[in-house]
Structure 1
Amino acid sequence: MILKVEHTTLFQYDAPIYETATEVRLHPASVMGGQQCVNFNLELQPEASFFDYTDFYGNKVHHFNILQSHRDVEIVATSVVETAPPANKESLCENEIYLMDFSGQSRYVHFDPALTRFADEFRECNNALEQATAVCRHINTIFEYEPGVTDVHSTSAVVIALGRGVCQDFAHVMIAVCRNLGIPARYVSGYLYGGGSTPDGQDEASHAWCEVFCGPQYGWRGFDPTHKTLFVDERYIKIGSGRDYADVPPVRGTWKGVASEQLSVSVRVSSLE
């Protein structure tokens, strides 16, 4: 599939601010043998020079500073991406040190007692792909999608206790369960083409899922516990991955001033075929 993404982020302030420093992770990933970012364009208002680099996890990061006084910051990212269905088999051996980053607890992924009890249901199986599939299906079945009960800082422990949340929360829970079972898992940020990223078809700023390392025979496999389809396919556009949301927020920054901030995000994903 060839998909176009138009992602607009608008920050508005009720008083002037200055010395804005912002990081943007909105450049879709290009994956060997899979998804390819054909074109990417970033526009800023107020106008500013931006620079880019690749972070530790291979994600493309753009950053910029706005030193002068301003009351609005608009970031418009436009991408064209060619997606591909996942391969049936992916022979891939990862560096053990790299996998360690995706094997333990992190800022939003916790091994609390409730999580350990949750994971106990899946310990008898010794096939990582089958375990991950069962975990994904179970989360999709028993958790209720409900916006507003959590926020971007909610941990897997909070979501387990609530039994509700959104795509980011379900991804964190699945990552926590898989890691507790000894299976490396990483958080993925991106988009989903067709009906938005919520189960009822409403648009959302972005989508989140996870990738699980199922051993050298299968490599990294994408799972989406938010949707009943469970498996990631060519409708998904990956921006980047990390230990959890803290490693790949779409936009993150700081500023100076005394003002209240209002954030609005608009995303449109369309097919060019």
Structure 2
Amino acid sequence: MKLEIFHQTIYTYKESVEDSVNEIRLTPRTDSRQSCVKHLLTIAPDTELFSYQDYFGNVAHAFTVNKPHRELVIKSHSLVVTHETDQNVYNLLPLKKEKEIIKSEPFQNTFAEYLNGTSYTFITEEIKKYAATLPDVESSGSVYQLLRDISETIYSSFIYDPNATHVHTTVEETVKLRRGVCQDFAHLMSAVCRIKGIPSRYISGYHFIGDLQGGHADYNQASHAWVEAYVPGIGWVGFDPTNNGLIDWRYVKVGHGRDYRDIVPVKGIYKGTAKQTLSVEVDVKVVKDE
């Protein structure tokens, strides 16, 4: 499927600011399930963009606006073709072999950064207690099925509430509140996976919801977040605990990291007033070939 994505971020300042230094991650990745065929970034005031790949292989851009300005506008326009790839989920390894792999030292060393807690997914006793209430690999019968069970449990037992949390909410706070948004649920699923010995990474991207009604779909969010977890014998598999689904043609991945901090879409610093307003608009639509 071909998806067109417009993402606009506008910072408006009460007074003129200057020396604005920024880093953005808005370029969709190209991998086995999607191809970014077009991506255009425009910045106002006009400035030079520098692009590079970060540690996780995400495309990042940096720019500086030195002259005084009252408004900063960042526009991203992407065209992405998504593919329905067979993740070969029915060709699983025997449970005994899966357990041997995830407990092995080479496996744990390879995926160490996706097995440890972070500032968002810090593993506390409360999180361990919560994880203990969820299925384990023995009761689920396989790593893949365990991941589906974890995703479904979070979906069914937490309330989607965009007013309950903020961008810095940790998984311990989410468990106490029993509500949150896609970022919170992705962090929570990642934490639970890591406790159970399954590498998990946080995904930032977009979700086409133009023809969906009901559920936890957020029609006003700037972007979407979900999880990729590593299944022995298969590789990285995507799960969306916010909408209780696997990742299909509707999802466009921008980047991955250990948590939100690794792949913030737009971040920066500037010199001047602290009084500012932020406006974010996103439009994702299907493009029909003529």
Fold agreement, TM-score > 0.5: yes
Q: Equivalent residues in 2 for 1:187-198 (5 A)? A: 187-195=202-210
CA apart distance, 1:25: 0.3
Indicate the residue corresponding to 2:19 in structure 1.
19
Could you report, residue by residue, the CA deviation over 1:90-134 in whole angstroms, capped at 9, with x for unpaired residues?
Answer: 89x997545111001012002122211221132344621111111
Indicate the residue corresponding to 1:219 in structure 2.
235
Change (3 A) 1:14 1:87: same
Hey, what's the Cα distance between the residues in 2 that align with 1:52 and 1:238?
Answer: 18
Hey, what's the Cα distance between the residues in 2 that align with 1:234 and 1:184?
Answer: 24
Change (3 A) 1:9 1:115: same
Hey, what's the Cα distance between the residues in 2 that align with 1:265 and 1:23?
Answer: 16
Change (3 A) 1:46 1:155: same
Structure number with higher helix proportion: 2
Secondary structure of the residue aligned to 2:175 is helix
CA apart distance, 1:192: 0.4
Hey, what's the Cα distance between the residues in 2 that align with 1:95 and 1:17?
Answer: 49
Instruction: Kindly indicate whether residue 135 of structure 2 is the aligned counterpart of residue 122 of structure 1.
Output: yes
Change (3 A) 1:34 1:12: same
Moved more, 94-103 or 33-42: 94-103
User: Which has the larger Rg?
Assistant: 2
TM-score w.r.t. structure 1 length? Answer: 0.94
Amino acid at match of 2:242: T
Q: Is the CA contact 1:17–1:259 (under 8 Å) kept in the aligned structure 2?
A: no
Q: Is the CA contact 1:86–1:234 (under 8 Å) kept in the aligned structure 2?
A: no
CA apart distance, 1:259: 3.3
Hey, what's the Cα distance between the residues in 2 that align with 1:41 and 1:252?
Answer: 18
Indicate the residue corresponding to 1:110 in structure 2.
122
Q: Which runs of 5+ in 2 are unaligned?
A: 92-100
Match 1:199 to one of 202, 216, 221:
216
Q: Is the CA contact 2:12–2:278 (under 8 Å) kept in the aligned structure 1?
A: yes
Q: Which runs of 5+ in 1 are unaligned?
A: none
TM-score w.r.t. structure 2 length? Answer: 0.88
Could you report, residue by residue, the CA deviation over 1:45-86 in whole angstroms, capped at 9, with x for unpaired residues?
Answer: 000001000001010001100011111000000000000123
CA apart distance, 1:167: 0.4
Corresponding pairs, count: 269
Hey, what's the Cα distance between the residues in 2 that align with 1:200 and 1:181?
Answer: 28
Secondary structure of the residue aligned to 1:13 is strand
Hey, what's the Cα distance between the residues in 1 that align with 2:269 and 2:27?
Answer: 20
Hey, what's the Cα distance between the residues in 2 that align with 1:95 and 1:63?
Answer: 34
Q: Is the CA contact 2:87–2:237 (under 8 Å) kept in the aligned structure 1?
A: no
CA apart distance, 1:194: 2.0
Instruction: Kindly indicate whether residue 116 of structure 2 is the aligned counterpart of residue 100 of structure 1.
Output: no
Indicate the residue corresponding to 1:38 in structure 2.
37
Hey, what's the Cα distance between the residues in 1 that align with 2:82 and 2:196?
Answer: 31
Could you report, residue by residue, the CA deviation over 1:179-235 in whole angstroms, capped at 9, with x for unpaired residues?
Answer: 0000000000000012389725523100000000011x111000000003x211111
Amino acid at match of 1:118: Y
Hey, what's the Cα distance between the residues in 2 that align with 1:186 and 1:65?
Answer: 30
Amino acid at match of 2:172: A
Secondary structure of the residue aligned to 1:153 is coil
What RMSD in Å do the two structures reach over aligned CA positions? 2.0
Q: Is the CA contact 2:209–2:219 (under 8 Å) kept in the aligned structure 1?
A: no
